[in-house]
Structure 1
Amino acid sequence: MSSKRVDMMQAQLASSATVGEQFQILKEQLRDRWQAVERYDTSSDADIIVVPSLSLDQRELLKIEGFHHYEERLLFSLIRLRNPRTRLVYITSQPLHPSVVDYYLQLLPGIPFSHARDRLLLLSTYDSSLKPLSQKILERPRLIERIRQAVRRDRSYLSCYNSTAAEQQLAVELGIPLFALDPDLLQWGTKSGSRQIFAEAGVPHPDGSELVWTAADLATAAAELWERQPYLKRMVVKLNEGFSGEGNALLDLRHLQEYAPGTVTHADRVAALQENFAHLKFESKGETWANFGSRIPELGAIVEAFIEGVVKRSPSVQARILPTGEVEILSTHDQILGGPSGQVYLGCQFPADESYRLRLQELGLRIGKNLAEKGAIERYSVDFVAVHQPDGVGSREWDIQAIEINLRKGGTTHPFMTLRFLTNGRYDLSSGLFYSQQGRAKYYIATDNLQKERYRGLLPNDLMDIIAQNQLHFDTSTETGTVFHLMGCLSEFGKLGLTSIGNSPQQAEDIYSRLVKALDEETRPLSDDDPSASHCMPMSWSRV
């Protein structure tokens, strides 16, 4: 279908249909064309518009240092330009540093730099306000028109970080299908919605509450949970729309045993729990109950049992739902968590441990089919807690509990897609491993949080010098090395993202450790008194 024909259809739709109706019609177009635009071979002829808007609660985003640079996390999409017939539009709030763009384009094997650069259009709103990028674009009709004119709308689609009413409106304004979740289904990616999906799909998950909207109701829900599980030691309080663990808090019951079930009345227990909300242990640095509690009427909250365990891990499964309704498992990871009680996402290892990765795939598929029945499409991930438990006969097994669904791209998306696009390899469901075209199994370590005070002031060009001098770059001939992201965070926050890829778990860890050592050496302070506070990933990634 020609672009002129598409224009005529969109004009007719706009005169008679609501935004939601137009969005649904565009989604039907996506179902017809997605196979062509998603192919990774050279026959694919597509225009891709990437809008890496973090359309999330802005007050919650403020808890993440350098979050406004997280628009760079989807720059792995530039690797799609390895296909000589693909064109790509990438839009950001502020212009990207030229060195960052050049870095990604030089990763493309077999494609002249100039050829890839000619097929890339970089646009910016030149707006550093806290509003999500999608909203900034909607406020600039001339920018929207420039995007419309730059692409062939009969063979293009819109890609985003997460989907809200703003992305829906932008898709309709452009007349281009959005390959993302229908915003009407966002509830299934909240904490309470996740729990409902787990129950419907028969997936094990911690005991917990339904959604509440006041601190008083939260205290009642916590008391009821404690009464169902009298030996519970801790509970997790979660804002319903929190993310990356930053909206979580821990309620320690071990200091409240005088109010335990069987000691006082239900009403006294509720009152004591509500009073102790002021002493919650927050995952986000600087968070207070005054602020956290004020968000409950706005975002809602749940409380659920905290899963204890001496040997405990946080694996996840990533998948996507195609426009046809088919569920495709993409990967599994063991997540690396930090924060006061280990609930904040820092990084990941691929793949997840072999003792449970196939089980993760099975549970992820079950959840995906439930979501597909509700009309969801595109990417989703499920986070779990895995505890090593005795099985009663002298050996041990893993107890796996699902804790939340993310209906968006996340911290494990860009590392895996970077690997996939760079190697053009395949994920093997039978083993849970990823193989390059040469048949080599690939492993990686990734983080958004290699952060040290001593890294502050490094410009993107400085990082390129360090990469070159220490030979830290990704080698396309061996398909090993490190790929960097979040380079815009480096100068102001001393923060960097990266994916270290190897042909074994040990090689990936060695590559990561060598990188950190080189950065530390290159930024060694003049004096022996280094005041830097490190938030970097641990030097040893070996699984517990």
Structure 2
Amino acid sequence: MLTQNQLPANYGVEFRRLQAQLRDRWQKIDEFDRSDCDILVVASLTLDSQELQKIPGVAHYEERHLFSLMRLQNPRTRLIYVTSQPLHPMAIEYYLHLLPGIPFSHARDRLLLFSTYDSSPKSLTQKILDRPRLMERIRQALRPEKSYMICYNSTPYERELSVKLDIPLLALDPDLLEWGTKSGSRQIFAECGIPHPPGSELVWTAEDLAEATVEVWEKNQPLSQMVIKLNEGFSGEGNALLDLRFLNEFSPGERVKALRDRFPLMRFQANGETWDNFSRRIPELGAIAEAFIAGKNKRSPSVQGRITPSQEVEILSTHDQILGGSDGQIFLGCRFPADEAYRLQLQDLGMRVGQNLADKGALERYGVDFIAVPQQVGDRVEWEVFAIEINLRKGGTTHPFMGLKLLTKGRYDRATGLFYSQHGRAKFYRATDNLKKNRYIGLLPNDLMDIIADRQLHFDTSTETGSVFHLMGCLSQFGKIGLTSIGNSPQQAEALYNQVIKVLDEETGNLTESTGRSFPPSNPITWNGSHANHYPSSDEN
């Protein structure tokens, strides 16, 4: 778990007192299109910094919360958005122009931007806590009786910030974080009677891990592969695949040592990961061994839900996750909704998990990842579903669905597992945080806007179809961009997604003789003087 200096004993009491206010104000908060409120967005990924560094461009992932700007379509909402580094003005303008029926200047006047001007690997929340003057400016910008705070994930740092600002945090109490770990997830699955792969208890040394892995292998024959997981890894970056077929060559007394010697040969999912580094993390984060679910044409669906401050459990969405990496365990993107063959089953299982979490006192977003394996039963295909892990945070499926909901003002229908716009059209999308090609390196956000406008890649509010972009800050250095392509059918969403790739490839396809690098066509944007300086951070005002 993340650690920090011991807080005063009353911090937990004060935090729960503030969260209790959410129960009285929940209806107003939830109906964001009517409420008069201030929303403090702390776009911090307060996760293990060493694991985060495995993600290319992770310093720009604070931009994923920019979908929150769409809440400014409520003319009475004010948004205070904090980041480690100042946001590119073009990214702000892009989101504000997506707001239907709201003048740009009106929305911009209700948006306050703060930055810590700190690019260190520390989490954004820690950076804010280290700057009391910045915290005071944020406090002065808020109306305490009408304010609440949202974040990517909740830890003791977010709890401390909530108490020091004296506003409630709409997120999990950090005392419950264990239920979002690999071992905690397995315990909840067992309590709920939900099928999940055989696996080990949580261990803290490489030697214990070898013993636990052999024990699981011996009890679950035939089993040829297992996944070794750091207990607090995420996006599959803390996983390694271990081939166990060689163990048949050893007697029971020799297997633990033989396996311990083979650990360095595991296939690590994170680029550049080694056993030396991975093994050092085990005493810090803990690890488990879990059976690898094999199967031809298997899929990785997920379900998302939330627990309201009144302890009601709601299912929000289902997705089919798109995975990559050497063994298909790295999260790359998703399709909404999940396949109709199992989406209603996912909803039922997700509701059982949500009720269990609610009974433990959990709050706000949660997601459950599964593996679905097709089984031929006579002339039909049935899907066997295994729960893999619980995420007690916003994830890679959160912002695309939030964008769909706010852009179309629609609703999710649990009876069908479909989402319908306010005009009654079923909506579908494909989304990613990881559209990444070396040929895109060097593109600036301004260049991307030129391409979007010239090639008509924007989201069209009249048809409620098109693509919405994010992670623009990753583009120039990493050649990486995120997008959500929304259509009126799965085929249309896929076609719109592929059209973006086709256009970006074409626009970066003309090589220059001098550098061998690709560039978009030159099409400079004209700015007036006041517009060019329209986005200072509010702590500079």
Residue identity opposite 1:440 in structure 2: R
1:373 to 341, 359, 382: 359
Task: Report the Cα distance in structure 2 between the residues aligned to 1:154 and 1:170, rounded to whole angstroms.
Answer: 17
**Residue in 1 aligned with 2:227?**
236
Contact 2:85 2:115 in 1 (8 A): yes
Equivalent residue of 1:212, what SS? coil
**Residue in 2 aligned with 1:74?**
65
Contact 1:236 1:305 in 2 (8 A): yes
**Residue in 1 aligned with 2:389?**
404
Task: Report the Cα distance in structure 2 between the residues aligned to 1:448 and 1:316, rounded to whole angstroms.
Answer: 17
> Pairwise mapping of residues 45-444 of structure 1 onto structure 2 (< 5 A)?
45-259=36-250, 264-265=251-252, 267-391=253-377, 393-444=378-429
**Residue in 2 aligned with 1:21?**
13
Deviation at 1:256, TM superposition (A): 3.8
Deviation at 1:485, TM superposition (A): 0.4
2:491 to 491, 506, 509: 506
Compute the TM-score of the two structures, normalised by the length of structure 1: 0.92
Deviation at 1:316, TM superposition (A): 0.1
Residue deviations 1:323-381, cap 9 Å, x none? 11100100000000001110000000000000000000000000000000000000000
Task: Report the Cα distance in structure 1 between the residues aligned to 2:64 and 2:289, rounded to whole angstroms.
Answer: 31
Deviation at 1:155, TM superposition (A): 1.1
Residue identity opposite 1:22 in structure 2: E
Contact 2:470 2:483 in 1 (8 A): yes
Contact 1:454 1:525 in 2 (8 A): no
Deviation at 1:322, TM superposition (A): 0.4
Deviation at 1:214, TM superposition (A): 0.5
Task: Report the Cα distance in structure 1 between the residues aligned to 2:311 and 2:487, rounded to whole angstroms.
Answer: 34
Task: Report the Cα distance in structure 2 between the residues aligned to 1:186 and 1:448, rounded to whole angstroms.
Answer: 25
Task: Report the Cα distance in structure 2 between the residues aligned to 1:432 and 1:26, rounded to whole angstroms.
Answer: 34
1:38 to 25, 30, 35: 30
The answer for unaligned runs of 5 or more in structure 2 is 1-7, 519-541
Equivalent residue of 1:450, what SS? strand
Task: Report the Cα distance in structure 2 between the residues aligned to 1:512 and 1:148, rounded to whole angstroms.
Answer: 41
Task: Report the Cα distance in structure 1 between the residues aligned to 2:94 and 2:102, rounded to whole angstroms.
Answer: 14
Residue deviations 1:125-144, cap 9 Å, x none? 00001100000000111111
Residue identity opposite 2:432 in structure 1: T
Task: Report the Cα distance in structure 2 between the residues aligned to 1:104 and 1:507, rounded to whole angstroms.
Answer: 23
Contact 1:37 1:156 in 2 (8 A): no
Deviation at 1:424, TM superposition (A): 1.0
Task: Report the Cα distance in structure 1 between the residues aligned to 2:108 and 2:186, rounded to whole angstroms.
Answer: 45
Equivalent residue of 1:25, what SS? helix
Equivalent residue of 1:309, what SS? coil
Residue identity opposite 1:147 in structure 2: I
Task: Report the Cα distance in structure 2 between the residues aligned to 1:17 and 1:118, rounded to whole angstroms.
Answer: 40
Contact 1:90 1:123 in 2 (8 A): yes
Q: Do the aligned partners of residues 117 and 462 (structure 1) sit closer, same or farther apart at CA in structure 2, a change above 3 Å counting? A: same
Contact 1:381 1:407 in 2 (8 A): yes
Structure 1, 31-40 or 195-204: larger mean CA deviation: 31-40
Residue deviations 1:173-217, cap 9 Å, x none? 100000000000000000000000000011110000010000111
> Pairwise mapping of residues 436-475 of structure 1 onto structure 2 (< 5 A)?
436-475=421-460
Task: Report the Cα distance in structure 1 between the residues aligned to 2:487 and 2:285, rounded to whole angstroms.
Answer: 41
Deviation at 1:526, TM superposition (A): 1.6
**Residue in 1 aligned with 2:529?**
none
Deviation at 1:271, TM superposition (A): 1.0
Task: Report the Cα distance in structure 2 between the residues aligned to 1:240 and 1:210, rounded to whole angstroms.
Answer: 10
Structure 1, 78-87 or 141-150: larger mean CA deviation: 141-150
Task: Report the Cα distance in structure 1 between the residues aligned to 2:517 and 2:455, rounded to whole angstroms.
Answer: 25
Deviation at 1:84, TM superposition (A): 0.4
Across the aligned residues of Structure 1 and Structure 2, the Cα RMSD in angstroms comes to 1.4
Equivalent residue of 2:396, what SS? coil
Aligned length: 510
Equivalent residue of 2:299, what SS? strand
Residue identity opposite 1:509 in structure 2: E
Task: Report the Cα distance in structure 2 between the residues aligned to 1:396 and 1:114, rounded to whole angstroms.
Answer: 54
Task: Report the Cα distance in structure 1 between the residues aligned to 2:116 and 2:236, rounded to whole angstroms.
Answer: 30
Deviation at 1:17, TM superposition (A): 6.8
Deviation at 1:111, TM superposition (A): 0.3
**Residue in 1 aligned with 2:523?**
none
Residue identity opposite 2:16 in structure 1: Q
Task: Report the Cα distance in structure 2 between the residues aligned to 1:477 and 1:429, rounded to whole angstroms.
Answer: 26
Structure 1, 393-402 or 133-142: larger mean CA deviation: 393-402
Task: Report the Cα distance in structure 2 between the residues aligned to 1:530 and 1:394, rounded to whole angstroms.
Answer: 55
Task: Report the Cα distance in structure 2 between the residues aligned to 1:253 and 1:107, rounded to whole angstroms.
Answer: 52
Equivalent residue of 2:245, what SS? coil
State, as a whole percentage, how many aligned pairs show the same letter. 69
Dislocated runs of 4+, deviation >2 Å: 254-257, 393-396, 527-532
Task: Report the Cα distance in structure 2 between the residues aligned to 1:327 and 1:52, rounded to whole angstroms.
Answer: 25
**Does structure 1 residue 524 correspond to structure 2 residue 509?**
yes
Deviation at 1:156, TM superposition (A): 1.0
Equivalent residue of 1:479, what SS? coil
Task: Report the Cα distance in structure 2 between the residues aligned to 1:403 and 1:524, rounded to whole angstroms.
Answer: 41
**Residue in 1 aligned with 2:522?**
none
Compute the TM-score of the two structures, normalised by the length of structure 2: 0.93
The answer for unaligned runs of 5 or more in structure 1 is 1-15, 533-544
Task: Report the Cα distance in structure 2 between the residues aligned to 1:398 and 1:218, rounded to whole angstroms.
Answer: 31
Deviation at 1:431, TM superposition (A): 0.2
Residue identity opposite 1:384 in structure 2: F
Deviation at 1:531, TM superposition (A): 9.2
Deviation at 1:255, TM superposition (A): 3.9
**Residue in 1 aligned with 2:531?**
none
Contact 2:247 2:255 in 1 (8 A): no
Task: Report the Cα distance in structure 1 between the residues aligned to 2:38 and 2:463, rounded to whole angstroms.
Answer: 30
Equivalent residue of 2:226, what SS? strand
Residue identity opposite 1:164 in structure 2: T
Deviation at 1:525, TM superposition (A): 3.8
Structure 1, 322-331 or 521-530: larger mean CA deviation: 521-530
Task: Report the Cα distance in structure 2 between the residues aligned to 1:495 and 1:323, rounded to whole angstroms.
Answer: 37
